[in-house]
């Protein structure tokens, strides 16, 4: 019996060259959301931040780079890795949240959509190659995978390019401690339909949206600085609420996907979580395995690159996946037939998970 599978045939990523260490924030003046000044010494603020998030540095784009630029670089690398003709791509699905934001500006620009810009940068002329964006918070890239799987299984596409790219350095408030969380980056994969004797590739998925009291846990708001202009808004979040929501809800979405797949928990080799916060991700993974009565060594099963790369939103999972496959992350690898889970949580609030057999 042959199975028709949606499989990843190529990966690519772009990690910006500019390194911003935690030490560069030690002399920054920070304010709370109520505009009150944080009087703790800068070194203390930075040290506490590192202890909570695990982030030691992050990557930011250069002044002349935009989100669509780095998305195109990652996309081109994924296409080359897959060894396919760009003109054979049926869908370009690009996940982001702020579009292109020019250096020195705070205005989002995705007219035309970034996927169309990337198609142009790749030189793809085929009009049947449909290019569109997903604005779905940090889970956008995983949702792009889910969309592509649906298109491929229903015969609406045979090959898709899914990209996650963000330049959060352009929308952060320098007077807000949360600025230290956010980073820039891009990751991409080529997926296509293939027949094989084994069920592999995307096996199952689950997505949920909680849009009552959780809707504005992430939002755009004015700077924390007392004299800030109310008409200029930056990325903001209620960190504690996001943490509590995530550790409570994400494990169950992951379990829903795994149970739907019919694969035993013992077969799961790796969990690739959105790189949002080291302690939060660890708690999510622990609670997920606890749902099955297990307590494995999480560090062996859950690779992380947040320490050096920070939180690049939609780009964290595809860049992490590409780094592992390219042997760029120490002590972690993914082998043929390994079962992995991609899972993310973010603005909306949205959660999704995909069970994938390599």
Superfamily (CATH) of domain 201-357: Thiolase/Chalcone synthase (3.40.47.10)
Q: How confident is the model at residue 1 (pLDDT cuts 50, 70, 90)?
A: low
Q: How does pLDDT run across 129-143, given as a tens digit for each residue?
A: 999 999 999 999 999
Q: pLDDT over 90 for what percent of the chain?
A: 92
Bridge partner list, 235: 220
- Does residue 208 contact residue 245 with C-beta atoms inside 8 Å? no
139/336 Cα distance (integer angstroms):
25
Query: How much helix, strand and coil, in percent to the nearest 5, is found in the chain?
Result: 35, 30, 35
3-196 with 201-357: one CATH topology?
yes
Q: What is the pLDDT of residue 58?
A: 97
The answer, yes or no, to whether residue 147 has pLDDT greater than 80, is yes
Under the banding of pLDDT at 50, 70 and 90, the label for residue 196 is confident
- Average pLDDT estimate for 323-334: 94
Per-residue pLDDT averaged across 256-274, rounded?
97
Sketch the domain layout of the chain as residue ranges: 3-196, 201-357
pLDDT of 169 > 90? The answer is yes
Return mean pLDDT, the chain: 96
CATH architecture, range 3-196:
3-Layer(aba) Sandwich (3.40)
CA distance to 10, 162, 246, 270, per residue, from 79 (Å): 6, 11, 33, 25
* Res. 95 pLDDT band, cuts 50 70 90: very high
Q: Which pLDDT does position 230 carry in this prediction?
A: 87
Nearest-10 Cα torsion for 305, 185, 182, 327: 0
- According to the model, what pLDDT value does residue 59 have? 97
For the stretch 208-259, pLDDT in tens is 999 999 999 999 999 999 999 988 999 999 999 999 999 999 999 999 999 9
Q: Tell me how far apart the alpha carbons of residues 167 and 16 are, in angstroms, rounded to a whole number.
A: 10
Distance between CA atoms of residues 76 and 58, nearest Å: 23
The pLDDT tens digits of the residues spanning 57-82 come to 999 999 999 999 999 999 999 999 99
| Structure tokens that stand for 42 in this block | 């800068």
| CA-to-CA dists, residue 83 to 11, 94, 155, 325, 347, angstroms | 11, 20, 22, 16, 35
According to DSSP, the residues that pair with 196 across neighbouring strands are: 3
**Confidence tier at 41 by pLDDT (50, 70, 90):** confident
Higher model confidence: residue 40 or residue 218?
A: 218
Q: Strands, DSSP E only, in the chain?
A: 3-14, 18-21, 57-60, 91-95, 130-134, 159-167, 184-196, 201-209, 218-222, 233-237, 268-273, 339-346, 350-357
Burial class of 134 by CB neighbour count within 10 A (0 to 12, 13 to 18, 19+):
buried
Task: Please tell me the pTM assigned to this model.
Answer: 0.95
Instruction: For residues 295-310, give the mean pLDDT.
Output: 92
Instruction: Dig out the tokens for 178 from the structure.
Output: 């949360």
């Amino acid at each position: 019996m042959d199975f028709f599978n949606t499989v990843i045939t190529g990966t690519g990523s772009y990690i910006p060259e500019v390194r911003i260490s935690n030490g560069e924030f030690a002399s920054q003046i920070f304010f709370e959301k109520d505009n009150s000044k944080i009087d703790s010494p800068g070194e203390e603020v930075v040290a506490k931040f590192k202890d909570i998030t695990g982030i030691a540095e992050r990557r930011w784009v250069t002044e002349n780079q935009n989100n669509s630029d780095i998305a195109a670089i990652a996309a081109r690398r994924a296409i080359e890795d897959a060894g396919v003709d760009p003109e054979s791509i049926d869908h370009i699905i690009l996940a982001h949240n702020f579009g292109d934001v020019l250096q020195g500006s705070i205005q989002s620009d995705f007219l035309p959509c970034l996927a169309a810009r990337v198609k142009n940068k790749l030189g793809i002329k085929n009009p049947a190659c449909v290019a569109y964006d997903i604005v779905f918070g940090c889970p956008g890239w995983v949702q792009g995978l889910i969309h592509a799987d649906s298109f491929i299984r229903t015969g609406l596409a045979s090959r898709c390019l899914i990209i996650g790219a963000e330049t959060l350095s352009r929308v952060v408030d320098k007077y807000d401690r949360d600025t230290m969380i956010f980073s820039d980056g891009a990751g991409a994969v080529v997926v296509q339909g293939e027949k094989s004797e084994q069920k592999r590739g995307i096996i199952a998925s689950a997505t949920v949206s909680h849009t009552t009291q959780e809707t504005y846990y992430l939002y755009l708001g004015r700077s924390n600085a007392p004299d800030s202009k109310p008409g200029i808004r930056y990325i903001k979040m209620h960190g504690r609420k996001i943490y509590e929501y995530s550790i409570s809800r994400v494990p169950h979405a992951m379990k829903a996907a795994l149970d739907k797949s019919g694969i035993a928990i013992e077969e799961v080799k790796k969990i690739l979580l959105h790189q949002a916060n080291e302690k939060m991700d660890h708690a999510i993974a622990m609670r997920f395995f606890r749902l099955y009565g297990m307590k494995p060594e999480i560090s062996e099963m859950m690779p992380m690159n947040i320490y050096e790369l920070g939180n690049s939103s939609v780009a964290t999972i595809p860049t992490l996946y590409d780094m592992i496959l390219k042997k760029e992350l120490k002590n972690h690898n993914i082998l043929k037939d390994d079962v992995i889970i991609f899972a993310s949580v973010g603005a909306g609030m949205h959660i999704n998970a995909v069970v994938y057999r390599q």
